[in-house]
Copies of this chain bind each other. A is one copy, B any other.
Amino acid sequence: MKINTKPLPGMMELLPEEQIEFNRILNVIKKHHSQFGFVSIDTPIIERTETLLAKAGGETEKQIYRFKKGDNDLSLRFDLTVPTARYTANNLGQLLFPFKRSQIGKVYRGERAQRGRFREFYQCDIDIICKEKMSVNYDAEVIAVIYSIFKELSFGDFTLRISNRNLISGIISGLKLGDKADEIMALIDRAEKITPTEFEDQANNLELGDKIEIIKKFINCRGDIDNVLIKLKDIANIINNEQFLLGINELEALGSTLLNMGVDAKNICFDMLIVRGLDYYTGTVFETSLNDFKQIGSIASGGRYDNLCGYYSKEKLMGVGASIGLTRLFWTLRELGLLNFNSKTTAKYLIMPMGKKELIKAYSIASEIRRKGKNVEVLLEPVNAKKAFKIADKKGVEFAMLIGEKELQDSIFKFKNMSTGEYVDMADI
């Protein structure tokens, strides 16, 4: 029987040169999580089904990978938020609050197989969890981490699109539209994915009368903080609602804190179209888009929530988080041709000995370079010069050193820069 060697559909598996680029992106994300003092935690991929499904239902339940082992009803985690809530509830007495945690790992959803949809994928999450009241400074820090990550990653200009759920909730309550809250939020949530005519039709279906004009005015608030605040204050004068005013105050505080934290104003757009689905979030919400590739949707998003561990603990914990769906982001960038796969080795340097004595010298040069903290590979079988440089080319190393009898005799060991052809002394690396 011929055994199928392909990975399962919906599971991304990369070639080494692609994996190197994937890992580079992953390491940038990790670095910025650490630079802000987030500690990483690592929860099991398998959980009790009752734990995972305590809150979930509907689509989640259908998509979950669920199985029995002995008498145990087990499932693979479908996100990192539920395991983090369980972890936090389980270790309440031993964690320091505010608890700033990073978690990067694979999650599983048995979605219908489809291009660009994954059944196993990486989520890269940060959250700050508090026991007491949290100011929007925490929201700002989470957004500042996302800003630093994408600034370093250089996938082109990007925009942090920010809103606050107190605003839309305040409008809905101020306009006494509470019975249609879900429909209104869902409509705003999909407003960018439908045509203006479709929007009008669907808005009319909601039978909001004149009130739709205020909602339209609201979702057209977009721009820098000063601009948006003026427009929002206009609306505040009409609807006169406390939650709406709270939203304005939080947005204003967030705007100035982001600037104080060094986030560039040109990367921030306050945008009332941002809702982030129906439930869960209660304050700040944000998404991130690449300016030149808006069609790919949000590449990092998150927000403020009120009650993380409701299903696991009596303690009321609030938090703010941000998530990057790395597998889908990587796939999308690769499809757009925005990634370079230049190297098939983690080594920057390659040493290529032409004989046995040269090999021994190669070992000692390699040790010296590794002691400097650099990555270097040695070809472990002697090669001739022509073949050697072909290998160096194929591997995509930046520097290659050929060691023959002459180099050994004269004790001259230099690396050739594979792009410029220039030679570099050992002392200079």
User: A residues engaging B (CB < 8 A)?
Assistant: 3-8, 11-16, 19-20, 22-23, 33-48, 50-51, 54, 65-70, 72, 74, 76, 86-87, 89-91, 94-96, 98-101, 106, 108, 110, 119-120, 135, 137-138, 141, 148, 257, 260-262, 311-313, 344-347, 350, 359-360, 363-364, 367, 370, 373-378, 380-381, 394-395
Contacts and interface: CB of A to CB of B under 8 A. Distances in A.
Residue of A4, A44, A120, A148 ringed by the most chain B CB atoms within 10 A:
A44
B380 A39 contact: no
Given A3-B54, A3-B312, A380-B141, A108 B14 contact: no
Given A19-B40, A98-B380, A260-B360, A48 B8 contact: yes
7 contacts: A5-B51, A13-B42, A37-B345, A37-B346, A46-B65, A141-B380, A260-B364
Contacts of A375: 34-37
A69 B62 CA distance: 11
Contact of A313 (B5, B42, B101): B5
A262 B367 contact: yes
Given A54-B3, A261-B367, A15 B120 contact: no
A140 to B, nearest CB: 8
Contacts of A3: 50-51, 54, 86, 311-312
A96 B42 CA distance: 33
Given A16-B99, A39-B344, 11 more contacts: A4-B51, A7-B44, A15-B95, A37-B345, A37-B350, A37-B377, A69-B110, A135-B381, A260-B363, A260-B364, A261-B363
Nearest to A68: B67
Contact of A120 (B33, B45, B72): B45
Contacts of A74: 8, 65
Contacts of A37: 345-347, 350, 375-377
B96 A395 contact: yes
Contacts of A43: 7, 13
Contact of A41 (B6, B16, B94): B16
Contacts of A100: 345, 377
A94 B341 CA distance: 13
Residue of A5, A42, A67, A363 ringed by the most chain B CB atoms within 10 A:
A5
B14 A137 contact: no
Given A39-B19, A48-B4, A346-B37, A138 B65 contact: no
A282 to B, nearest CB: 19
B359 A96 contact: no
Contact of A46 (B42, B87, B108, B364): B108
Shortest 3 CB-CB distances between A and B: which pairs? A37-B377, A67-B67, A37-B347
Contacts of A135: 380-381
Nearest to A347: B37
B51 A11 contact: no
